[in-house]
Structure 1
Amino acid sequence: MEKKTHVNDGFEAELGEINGDAKVIDTKHTFHDIVENGDLKRKKDTEVDGYDVGMGHHIAEEEKGGRPAWDNQVQFLLACIAYAVGLGNIWRFPYLAQTYGGGAFLIPYVLMLIFEGIPLFLLELAVGQRLRQGAIGTWMKFHPYLGGIGIASMVVSFMVGLYYNTIIAWCFWYICNSFTDPLPYANCPVVNGTEYVSECVNSGTTDYFWYRETLNITPTIDDTGGVVWWVMVCLILAWGLIWVTMIKGIESSGKAMYVTATFPYLVLFIFLVRGLTLKGSSTGVTYLFTPDVTILANPQVWLDAATQIFFSLGLGFGGVIAFASYNPKKQDCQRDALIIALTNSFTSVFASIVIFAVLGYKATVEYETCLDGNINVVLDYCDLPEGTITYDNYDQQIQGLNTTWTNCTGGVPLPSLPYCNLQDILSEASQGTGLAFIVFTEAIINMPGSPVWSVLFFLMLLSLGLGSMFGTVEGVVTPLFDLGLKVPKPVLTGIVCIISCAIGIIFCTRAGNYWVDIFNSYAGSIPLLVIAFFEITVVAWAYGVKNFDDDLTWMFGGPKSIAGWCLHWYFRLCWLIISPVILLVVFGAYVYTTAIGSFEYAGWDGDGSQTTQVYPWFAIFVIMILIVLPCIFIPLFWIYRWAKYRFFHGEDSEGILVDKSWSNFFSDMFFWKNKY
């Protein structure tokens, strides 16, 4: 091939011949031969790389290449699945399904998934992949004044990570205590050689081990009670594991995702097979999916369904944006969003089947124990032969004896018998730590080979927690790193982990469980709804769905089939109208229920019972901080940037919305006018 240099009006290029055809290579732009609709077209690198399309104008030179990347697409999908599928899928979704009519709860859940969850998830994936920045950098690309949205996401991720890793620490403690037979929570401890501890007798073995042996809990949140050293050691271990795993960013944590994303499914499948072979498992699964459609008239059902979808997918935390920023510039993020969101919801349903198969077994054991006690009392008082009363004829026999008790007991009144009802036992709803560390462990101790099942169960919780923590910490570290901090990323990750561990000591005190409940209830609630509303407003309304559609088309192409056109219209209508309306309604309902609700918690008394307590003033103050602190950064950052530019002669504002022609505000909504 012969090459020549040609200068024309200051334009320098190289001329060559390839198979007799002239090829021009601009020394400023590389030209590529692209086939479009069967026609060969020559385009500059800025067109091929998308820097001349939509948001691409605002990708800085240093961001066009050199950013860390996933090894492959599977690794990215597993990372997002591990982040989205967390402890809430195991203990919150089953609780909500149990509370709200079983199968009937799936109706609002699926509707909220379709109209709220998936559209918002795709939006975060798309902006992260397109702008190749963390949460703060992404929203500052839209406008320098909007960096507060990213800061709010980072603060929420930081606050959630504080308590979430404490749960991982508890999992470490239970794993360490699962290598004995019998399990330490299978029997009450003995004092004075002959007597069982009264607190354990009154509360139950699993309750006692959780509240006394693990947490050593105080009766109220006012009494801090000092640090529980074994929990603190486990917390240090948990944060150390997070740092070691993330020390090289996604290069190291991405490898860990192969385990944290797949191992829980293996354990769930094992528990499913084992659970379905236990007596009473079918009763639990049937109870779960027996619909009570009348419950749909309760507005709280729809609110809880919306918040479950929202928080389960990790929307508003910044982790999704951070993960997507390591994607190739051209990747079908629409397909990825559908795969991840549907996998997350499938996991919730699958985990519920497993949980209720085991809980059905537990309820059956309790029910039969109750019947055995009543049967023995009646046989003894009435002097009846063994086998007269069985499980099958219990109700009939007891009802028949109602008229003859006086005669069969020789005039001695029969003691009142406990009421045994399988459905009542199944309806005793538990969620969160109560379901994992008390109710489920009670079922485990009744299984043959219980130590093996205990190890498997808590290893599964550990994997789920770690997968979510990787994304949560990434939602803190990536925005800070993208801001240009002159700190190596491993060091920055270590600093975040050390600070989080130091603050997390409050959860290691004897009152720590009360603080975990506060953070769990309020750290990731209203702020996430506010963040998501600003995100969708900025992209769909300020930037414009039509312009956003150009970016999506460049990343993965336009619709090419009937299904593609359906998805095309579905996503854009949700971004433009449906999802913002749902967010506003859910936000208003959430604020209303929080305002009229009472700030109460369940305190653990030393006698093994629980009493309702009112949060003291300092706890309510912390609740207000958890709600307000992330949100306040949005207007504060806006004011700071405006004041810096207005009064301190800051640099000129640059951003997608700064350069936007606002005379096209309404026309930028007309996505249907785009050509594909």
Structure 2
Amino acid sequence: MSDQVHEHEARTRGAFTNRRVFILAAIGSAVGLGNIWRFPYVAYENGGGAFIIPYLVALLTAGIPFLFLDYALGHRHRGSAPLSFARLRRGTEGLGWWQVGICFLIAVYYAAVIAWAVRYTFFSFNEAWGDDPEGFFFGDFLQAGDPGVDANLVAGVLVPLVIVWVAVIAIMVAGVQKGIGATAAVFIPILIVAFAALVVRSLFLPGAAEGLDTLFTPNWAALGEPGVWAAAFGQIFFSLSIGFGIMITYASYVHRDTDMTGSGAVVGFANSGFELLAGIGVFAALGFMAQAQGVAVDEVASNGIGLAFIAFPTIISEAPAGAIIGVLFFGSLVIAGLTSLVSVIEVVISAVRDKFEMTRQGAALAVGVPSAVISLLFFSTTSGIYVLDIVDHFINQFGILLVAVVSMVVLAWVVRALPALADHLNHHGTVPLGGWWRALIAVVAPLALGYVLVDAFRTDLGEPYSGYPSWMLNVFGWGMAAAVIVLAFAAARVKWRPGTTMETTGALDDRTTTGGN
């Protein structure tokens, strides 16, 4: 591909200036809140040190292979998720819009968690939560009452949430390289240094060794449980930002001659390395907390919001130089969350821009401003945390997982696009994709993720999620998951501008434009 064509793409769609920036942006997307507050607990609950075996198996047989699939779609067809699917086969465009809808929902609530972390970074200086971190978080800070919907705004959440959205919109308006790329190039090194400093500080706390023993002591019997293997595949899938349009979009901004498979391997192992680092830091800190309270580590181990906004403030209050731990921990959450949020909202912006032929700035504002308004209306209120919890659970289980399984089945067995996609990546890739890759995408990964999906479906049908009222689960849970699908295939019926779906800028050869059509 000529440099002139690449320059034309960069001017019209935007592009990362080099492979290093792309890798940093992809790592920034993959490394998010889930790496810090989800992986340590999942590993602890599913065999401790023994969990590393199914985790690595899942990484190598599903995570990285699916990452290659996303890269191939975006890099080959040079478009957003809907446009890439449409160029592959027009009937599959709805899958791309399904991914766009998922990203939109994630963006509007994910920003709220980042806003909480912003406030808690400053709370760390004077330990504003006092002697009762749980009561402070739900009461004083969020002012949460019983589950329900009301219109009482919480100023303590509203202000940082506005700041988060102003920052995100500014980054998105700046463009692919000057906004997304520059943000990743600056923040990812800072995140690595800050979190490494947190881990080092945690390792020197009294009781850290007991925490690490709890995490890494292997329970070999757990390897015989299907649920442990399912947890490994689920964790890898959620943590790599695969299957919902992000990596398709990012890959479309990369130079045609880039080694995508080598880049994917770097991103996959970097993400897992950060998760392991997070496990060490979190459980070292939990070991200190357990010793300080005179209880076993398993009595203080938790994940998600409970770990971040209840357990860690307790650790900060009891640890020597706790303010340093607090700033490093919550600052890391802010940076990891921000780089992930940027990637999520970019999926929506790129799709809107492609579909309606908008300028970068116009599409960023057309998507960013309504997203911010919806985010503020729903998640800066006294019921925001409950809506957030429900939407997060259902859109992850019955959005991301479901669209991924459907996409793999369609691409492998209906469109039969895997040979052409593998051939594309093999042009410049250092990891040759052969029959083993097609088998993993067509059989192994769909079966593994399908098992996770069916198990989650059975669980949620068996009992109401977290005991929430049925109407809330039906509206913000099942309803949202279903609405995304309906609206996605409705969006796919909107016509593209003439020639858009039939053209792939800068094709390597005839296979790039004709495969699948």
TM-score under structure 1 length normalisation: 0.70
Of 142, 145, 153 in structure 2, the residue corresponding to residue 227 of structure 1 is: 153
Aligned partner letter, 1:166: A
Q: 2: CA distance between counterparts of 1:428 and 1:179?
A: 23
- Comparing 205-214 with 324-333, greater Cα deviation is found at 205-214
1:621 and 2:475 matched? yes
Aligned partner letter, 1:351: A
Name which one, 1 or 2, has greater alpha-carbon Rg: 1
Deviations for 1:225-275, whole angstroms, at most 9, x for unmatched residues? 611112111111110010112222112221111232122211221122211
Name 2:454's counterpart in structure 1: 588
State the 1:70 CA deviation: 1.1
1:301 and 2:225 matched? no
Of 51, 73, 76 in structure 2, the residue corresponding to residue 105 of structure 1 is: 51
Q: 2: CA distance between counterparts of 1:545 and 1:148?
A: 19
1:356-371 to 2 correspondence within 5 Å? Answer: 356-367=283-294
Of 230, 251, 257 in structure 1, the residue corresponding to residue 184 of structure 2 is: 257
Q: Secondary structure at the match of 1:525?
A: helix
Q: Secondary structure at the match of 2:427?
A: helix
Residues 632, 297 of structure 1: CA spacing in aligned structure 2 closer, same or farther, 3 A cutoff? farther
Of 255, 260, 275 in structure 1, the residue corresponding to residue 202 of structure 2 is: 275
Residues 222, 69 of structure 1: CA spacing in aligned structure 2 closer, same or farther, 3 A cutoff? closer
Name 1:289's counterpart in structure 2: 216
Kept in 1, the 8 Å contact 2:74–2:249? The answer is yes
Aligned partner letter, 1:519: V
Kept in 2, the 8 Å contact 1:144–1:654? The answer is no
Of 436, 439, 443 in structure 2, the residue corresponding to residue 570 of structure 1 is: 436
Of 171, 184, 196 in structure 1, the residue corresponding to residue 117 of structure 2 is: 171
Name 2:128's counterpart in structure 1: 184
Q: 2: CA distance between counterparts of 1:298 and 1:661?
A: 40
Name 2:36's counterpart in structure 1: 90
Residues 434, 550 of structure 1: CA spacing in aligned structure 2 closer, same or farther, 3 A cutoff? same
Structure 1's unaligned 5+ residue stretches are 1-47, 51-58, 188-204, 368-421, 602-612, 663-676
Residues 140, 225 of structure 1: CA spacing in aligned structure 2 closer, same or farther, 3 A cutoff? closer
State the 1:66 CA deviation: 4.6
Of 355, 361, 369 in structure 2, the residue corresponding to residue 490 of structure 1 is: 361
Aligned partner letter, 1:513: I
CA RMSD of aligned residues (A): 2.9
State the 1:507 CA deviation: 1.3
Q: Secondary structure at the match of 1:279?
A: coil
Aligned partner letter, 2:436: Y
Aligned partner letter, 2:363: L
Of 421, 435, 443 in structure 2, the residue corresponding to residue 548 of structure 1 is: 421
Name 1:455's counterpart in structure 2: 327
Residues 582, 632 of structure 1: CA spacing in aligned structure 2 closer, same or farther, 3 A cutoff? farther
Q: 2: CA distance between counterparts of 1:70 and 1:64?
A: 8
1:156-555 to 2 correspondence within 5 Å? Answer: 156-180=102-126, 183-187=127-131, 205-218=132-145, 220-222=146-148, 224=150, 226-250=152-176, 251-367=178-294, 422-423=295-296, 425-486=297-358, 488-504=359-375, 505-541=377-413, 542-555=415-428
State the 1:184 CA deviation: 1.4
TM-score under structure 2 length normalisation: 0.90
1:154 and 2:25 matched? no
Of 53, 68, 72 in structure 2, the residue corresponding to residue 122 of structure 1 is: 68
Structure 2's unaligned 5+ residue stretches are 504-510
State the 1:480 CA deviation: 1.0
Aligned partner letter, 1:585: Y
Q: 2: CA distance between counterparts of 1:273 and 1:661?
A: 51
Higher strand share: 1
Residues 549, 620 of structure 1: CA spacing in aligned structure 2 closer, same or farther, 3 A cutoff? closer
State the 1:143 CA deviation: 1.9
Residues 520, 49 of structure 1: CA spacing in aligned structure 2 closer, same or farther, 3 A cutoff? same
Aligned partner letter, 1:133: G
Work out the number of aligned pairs and report it: 505
State the 1:299 CA deviation: 3.2
Q: Secondary structure at the match of 1:117?
A: helix
Q: Which ranges of 4 or more aligned residues in structure 1 deviate by more than 4 Å?
A: 59-66, 633-638, 650-662
Residues 261, 660 of structure 1: CA spacing in aligned structure 2 closer, same or farther, 3 A cutoff? closer
State the 1:568 CA deviation: 3.9
Residues 213, 65 of structure 1: CA spacing in aligned structure 2 closer, same or farther, 3 A cutoff? closer
Q: 2: CA distance between counterparts of 1:63 and 1:123?
A: 22
Percent identity over the alignment is: 29
Aligned partner letter, 2:40: P
- More RCO (CA 8 Å, sep 6+): 2
Name 2:89's counterpart in structure 1: 143
Q: 2: CA distance between counterparts of 1:654 and 1:67?
A: 17
State the 1:463 CA deviation: 0.2
Higher helix share: 2
Q: 2: CA distance between counterparts of 1:106 and 1:142?
A: 37
Q: 1: CA distance between counterparts of 2:92 and 2:487?
A: 10
